[in-house]
Amino acid sequence: GAGVSQTPSNKVTEKGKYVELRCDPISGHTALYWYRQSLGQGPEFLIYFQGTGAADDSGLPNDRFFAVRPEGSVSTLKIQRTERGDSAVYLCASSPRLAGVTDTQYFGPGTRLTVL
């Protein structure tokens, strides 16, 4: 079946601009996660959704970052007033987990964001 998809695959923007990154999870997966991977590093957790609600947003670095999942499927990560330090690969993952059960996370190919 189809895996996690992310669009765009690459995004180049200028400092101070607003960007939106989209994630389409595997159909039927209730949990959705965003991670950020900087060059030479492992992925770092940003936010986790269970259904439509953000269950854990403790990884969002500041209030310029926001994510939504209004219908419990597609999610959008929004970054305001982008800074050069935001340049990274943004990874999305989904999981079929039910509440209270840890399960495997399946990752998308990522969106490479470059802030000039």
- The residues near 47 (Cβ < 8 Å, ≥ 6 apart) are 33, 34, 54, 56, 57, 59, 60, 67, 77
Q: What are phi and psi of 39, to 5 degrees?
A: -55, 125
Residue 91 binds another protein (CB under 8 A): yes
Instruction: Identify the three-state secondary structure at position 86.
Output: helix
Strands 10-13 and 111-115: parallel
Residue closer to another protein, measured from CB, 67 or 91: 91
Contact letters for another protein, residues 48-77 (x by CB under 8 A):
x-x----xx-xx------------------
Shortest Cβ distance from residue 90 to another protein (Å)? 12
Shortest Cβ distance from residue 18 to another protein (Å)? 25
Residue corresponding to tokens 């949990």: 31
Residue 41 binds another protein (CB under 8 A): yes
Contact residues for another protein (CB under 8 A)? 3-4, 31, 33, 35, 40-45, 48, 50, 55-56, 58-59, 91, 93, 97, 100, 102, 104-110
